[in-house]
């Protein structure tokens, strides 16, 4: 509905679209580019371009998918070769998963600390793996949509998820003994 109103030139619908998606898009951009000013520019350009080409946009497409895909392409274009260095060509071995020391965890009774370990795991994921996990499990995109956003094939997307999760498995085994699972029984 919103999308159709927007395509007919409804400014209010455009603003609503913006309000709905700007935060996640910006945050996604920040994960790929460190410079805040550049991310702001790219997100603004995305919405300006969206407005100017509204009459030519397809009907059935999901706005969220459309916006993520466009932003990703923009980022890729803007960064030229530098982008690849950081994300596409990174050898995963450069980011070893920092497994917490078991003894340390058994001593600690604070769940906060264990949560930190998991955060550290997330941060230690190679860029692509993190990106795929985020798109799949936070943004709820289908595997086929993710493969279009990243312009890689669907099987590669699945592989990236599998690799990230298998690292997690090593991690959870080592912290299980500390009784981490109790924190969600509260």
Partner 1 sequence: MGYYHYEVTDFLEDQYFKSWVLTPSQETCDFWNNFLLTHPEKAETIAGARAVLLGIRSEMEADFPTDGQVSAMLDEIHTRKSSASRWPMRRLWLRLGASLSAAAVVLLVIGWARQPNRHDSHVSYEELLSAVEAPLVEQTNTTTSPILLTLPDSSTIRLQPKSSVSYRKDFVRNALREVYLSGQAFFTVTKNRHRPFVVYSNELVTKVLGTSFMVKAFEDAKQVEVCVKTGKVSVFPRTDTEVCEGIASPELAGTIITPNQKVLFSREQTQLRKGLVDEPEILASAVLPAPLLKFQDMPVSVLLNNIEETYGIDIVYDHRLFGECLLTASFTTESLYEKMDLICKGIEASFEVIDGKMIVTGRGCN
Footprint on this chain of partner 1 (rule: CB under 8 A): 15, 18-19, 22-24, 26-28, 30-31, 37-38, 40-44, 47-53, 55-57, 69-70, 73-74, 77-78, 80, 82, 115, 118-119, 121-123, 133-134, 136-138, 161-162, 165, 168-169, 171-173, 176, 180-181, 183-185
Shortest distance, CB of residue 184 to partner 1, whole angstroms?
A: 6
Residue closer to partner 1, measured from CB, 98 or 176? 176
In the block, tokens 């058994």 appear at: 106
Residues 75 and 64: their CA atoms lie apart, in Å, by: 16
Q: Which is nearer to partner 1, 90 or 163 (CB)?
A: 163
**Residue nearer to partner 1 on the CB measure, 109 or 137:** 137
Q: How many CA atoms lie within 13 A of 29 on its CB side?
A: 29
Tokens of 159: 């592989």
CB of 2 to partner 1, least distance (A): 16
Q: Which residues lie below 8 Å from residue 89, measured CB to CB, with a gap of 6+?
A: none
Encoded tokens for 103: 């003894």
**What span, in angstroms and rounded, lies between the C-alpha atoms of 146 and 16?**
24
- In angstroms, what is the minimal distance from the CB of 44 to partner 1? 5
- The nearest distance, CB 149 to partner 1, in angstroms, is 11
């Amino acid at each position: 509905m919103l999308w159709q109103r927007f395509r007919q030139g409804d400014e209010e619908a455009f603003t609503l679209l913006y309000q709905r998606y700007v935060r996640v898009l910006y945050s996604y951009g920040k994960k790929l580019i460190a410079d805040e000013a550049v991310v702001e520019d790219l997100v603004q350009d995305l919405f300006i371009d969206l407005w100017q080409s509204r009459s030519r946009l397809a009907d059935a497409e999901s706005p969220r998918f459309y916006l993520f895909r466009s932003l990703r392409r923009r980022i890729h274009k803007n960064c030229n070769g530098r982008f690849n260095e950081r994300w596409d060509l990174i050898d995963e071995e450069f980011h070893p998963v920092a497994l917490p020391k078991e003894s340390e965890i058994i001593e600690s009774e604070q769940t906060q600390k264990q949560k930190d370990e998991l955060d550290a795991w997330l941060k230690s994921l190679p860029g692509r793996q993190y990106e795929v996990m985020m798109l799949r499990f936070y943004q709820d995109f289908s595997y086929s949509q993710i493969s279009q956003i990243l312009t890689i094939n669907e099987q590669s997307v699945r592989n990236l998820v599998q690799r990230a999760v298998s690292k997690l498995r090593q991690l959870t085994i080592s912290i299980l003994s500390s009784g981490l699972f109790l924190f969600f029984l509260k």
